[in-house]
Amino acid sequence: MRTRISGACLRVLACGALLLGGGAATAHDSAVADVDRTVSMWVVDGRVWLSYRRQITEDAALLELDHADADGDGRISDAESLARFDAAAQAIASRLKLRSNAGELRLEPVGHAVLDPAFGQTFLFSAALPATAADGWTLVDGTMREHPGEERYIQAPDLPPGARAVTATWSELPAPAPAAAPHADGDGTQPVDPHEDHAVEAAFSLTFPR
């Protein structure tokens, strides 16, 4: 049966269907492995804001259509599309770690994803800054462990009134090793290869405006 989509969902498809880290697709599927990401940050009114854009391939967009029809009725409704994007935002937020010498901030999704015709998806996140001054800020993104690809920090092209940009330099961190997998017979564990994709996390050293 051919999947049908509503007018609003057709615009979603034209801009790029949703890519989630999980489901039937794995990090090594050719259609989903190459994901390019750009990050920008700014502060305004005691909050830090993070814009997170990822660009997927056309093949990945088409592949994801098969997963968007949650109720299996052959249609992708507006509600199903929003649910998928909101779930993607929560998944991204779970992999973002904003740390300082004062502790770690939890970045929460704000609004819905904004799509563009180049198969790009932009998500917005925010968190309240600590009441006392903090230093040693670092942003860690664990996405690279599951979806290898380029990740860049850029200056936001259009800042809100009164906002000040956060600057950053790129680095890579060794990712925490996943738990060893049990053997098929349940005896012992399977060693983890430290050279596999999970061994790297994207990290940015941040400088907040004073």
- For the stretch 67-109, pLDDT in tens is 777 777 878 788 888 888 899 899 999 999 999 988 899 999 9
How much is the pLDDT for 116? 86
Number of domains in the chain: 1
In a domain, 183, yes or no: no
Residue numbers in the chain where pLDDT is lower than 50: 1-33, 181-198
- Residue 28 domain flag: no
Domain, as residue range, for 104: 4-20+34-177+189-207
pLDDT at 56: 83
pLDDT score, position 172: 64
In a domain, 29, yes or no: no
Residue 26 lies in a domain: no
Tell me what pLDDT residue 89 has: 94
> Is 182 among the domain residues?
no
Distance between CA 136 and CA 99 in Å, rounded?
Answer: 8
Q: What is the pLDDT of residue 53?
A: 94
Strands, E assignment, the chain: 4-5, 36-44, 47-55, 75-76, 96-100, 103-105, 108-116, 120-128, 138-141, 151-153, 164-165, 167-174, 181-182, 189-190, 200-207
Residue 136 CB partners (closer than 8 Å, separation 6+): 99, 100, 101
